[in-house]
Structure 1
């Protein structure tokens, strides 16, 4: 079994919703559940040894549009969120992460040494990520607090606009060049993350925002859960020019398992073959090299291929990559080594 460190999941969103419905999120993760994609038993069964766990503030007004007769769709961007309610939700999710750490359900990791130790001991290695920075105040004061609590990665925007920048819509076919990029506060956020050693994630930002980060950051460029626009032209996927820039910076892209970002037609259909996942890996490896591609599943945040189903099925992708000709050392890089190298650089290790 090839151990996987995954670049993005939304398990904290699922556990938070369970808590709001009266459930016990700690027991749900530790003992297992039929719901969603990730819990400790299924992670262990599928070799999912850890990953970046997102603090994401849901947008209640988002309804994905169905394709029209020509297969096109554009989902309007969600409305901007207010800061204080977003901060409350973020703290609730951070609390779940900290309680899981205390209960031994996972290990909250703040360094690559922490990640490696947790993986060696068979404990899920969780790293706190923030997907969309609505919880962060304009003065960036609480960024310091979240960092102290374990935040080591963030995406300035989700697929909506905020005070730091602009996000891309869920749309097919569409270029990622959909609007403005970082705001003045967004540039300040990037510089603060560079100082603190917080990874900057480009997964949901406009193409203009991508280049704004590229000219400002001292980190390798990273898109934690994105795919190749040349194969699936949704707005969230990366153009070959962006892939080239990521390679030049020494960064990486994590393969997103979301079927809408894998299929040539961009449809939300779980009957999507694993061969589409391999196709995107092949393209990105061919464009950037094996050192710049990893995995970023989007477990618990998207519809994924039925051949994977949940975290327990993660080795089905590993087997497909091996059958496609990837050697053992290449699989180690794709599954965990590349992520650990990039995190170490971003975290000033």
Structure 2
């Protein structure tokens, strides 16, 4: 597939998942919004790093943390499992969700047009076209939404266009996959009755349903109930890294057949065949996962879902500024320019046109 393109030709990237809002929420600095816009602080994503790495935008996740500290040290040994905290009370989740959504809009307001909250694929294209960072509001684990779904309508009016029914912590809508290695995603029941109502409501509103943390039974529940494409915004290949967080080949085929999408997750524990969270992880493993995702799901159904600011990533990609490192590795591997453009922005924008409009 080699062409005559020059290595490291700038490639705009739309990212299916980041946790920058959680980082800002947890920040101890006086003005985290100003820090994001000016750069110079710790973290994977800020505006200058995005500019340097040609990160054009992405789904900005609202993840409501548990009060209890989660110890991922158990995954350092094969057969380890991270104990999950108890379900998060709705009021606790709602308070942190509202704060993170506020931070998103503060970024837009303070950015002088350099950061735009987008509600449609047309909004995303327009923002990227004028050089602004395009942000879509996403919620990862919907503990802030009541089972009656009243708050979903409020969130939609505020700009919510994508949600994952669960994080790995179970909730009123379904059951997540544990942080375990090795392991199958086929663990426990799937969607609850409230979760099934949530799927119908998302289809009605035009809200993307993210399957990344949902267990396999829940995945197939969504596949049966939803009229929208199946999407896993930040998941990898179970065949290469057998953690429950990754997708089986059957799940990848279902995503392909639904005209859906999967985004490559940069988290080392979901890349490495030993499942270890280790920054000394070769970029070649990212290439192998992309090869497999493309082989099974097809090259029009794969993109990037970095998990920036929410995971340990390979040291060679220290931040969004280093995205060209991955692009160059893919070019050396033989990915031509049309394929890179599909992986970078084309596939995500096409998918979002089919889901959020």
TM-score (norm 2): 0.95
1:260 maps onto 2:279 in alignment: no
TM-score (norm 1): 0.97
Unmatched tracts of structure 2, length 5 or more? 1-9
3-state SS of paired residue (1:271) = coil
Give, in whole Å, the separation in 2 of the partners of 1:33 and 1:82.
35
Query: Which residue of structure 2 aligns with residue 88 of structure 1?
Result: 95
1:233 maps onto 2:219 in alignment: no
Give, in whole Å, the separation in 1 of the partners of 2:75 and 2:22.
27
Give, in whole Å, the separation in 2 of the partners of 1:287 and 1:129.
27
Query: Which residue of structure 2 aligns with residue 298 of structure 1?
Result: 307
Does structure 2 retain, via aligned residues, the 8 Å contact 1:42–1:312?
yes
Give, in whole Å, the separation in 2 of the partners of 1:163 and 1:303.
29
3-state SS of paired residue (2:351) = helix
In the TM superposition, residue 17 of structure 1 has moved relative to its aligned partner by: 0.9
1:100 maps onto 2:107 in alignment: yes
Query: Which residue of structure 1 aligns with residue 179 of structure 2?
Result: 170
Give, in whole Å, the separation in 2 of the partners of 1:36 and 1:9.
11
Query: Which residue of structure 2 aligns with residue 28 of structure 1?
Result: 35
Counterparts of 1:53-68 in structure 2, within 5 Å, are 53-61=60-68, 62-67=70-75
3-state SS of paired residue (1:238) = coil
1:42 maps onto 2:58 in alignment: no
Does structure 2 retain, via aligned residues, the 8 Å contact 1:9–1:296?
yes
In the TM superposition, residue 252 of structure 1 has moved relative to its aligned partner by: 1.0
Cα 1:112–1:66 shift into 2, 3 Å? same
Query: Which residue of structure 2 aligns with residue 275 of structure 1?
Result: 284
Give, in whole Å, the separation in 1 of the partners of 2:252 and 2:67.
32
Does structure 2 retain, via aligned residues, the 8 Å contact 1:15–1:28?
no
Does structure 1 retain, via aligned residues, the 8 Å contact 2:76–2:276?
no
Does structure 2 retain, via aligned residues, the 8 Å contact 1:253–1:292?
yes
Give CA deviations for 1:40-99 in whole Å, capped at 9, x if unaligned.
Answer: 000000010100000100123321133466x22111222100001110110001101111
Unmatched tracts of structure 1, length 5 or more? none
3-state SS of paired residue (1:127) = strand
Give, in whole Å, the separation in 2 of the partners of 1:232 and 1:199.
26
Dislocated runs of 4+, deviation >6 Å:
none
Give, in whole Å, the separation in 2 of the partners of 1:219 and 1:63.
36
Give, in whole Å, the separation in 1 of the partners of 2:115 and 2:312.
24
CA RMSD between the two structures: 1.0
In the TM superposition, residue 300 of structure 1 has moved relative to its aligned partner by: 0.1
- Give the total of aligned pairs: 345
Query: Which residue of structure 2 aligns with residue 310 of structure 1?
Result: 319
Cα 1:59–1:329 shift into 2, 3 Å? same
Equivalent of residue 3 in structure 1, options 9, 12, 24: 12
Greater Cα shift, 22-31 or 143-152: 22-31
1:79 maps onto 2:75 in alignment: no
In the TM superposition, residue 33 of structure 1 has moved relative to its aligned partner by: 2.8
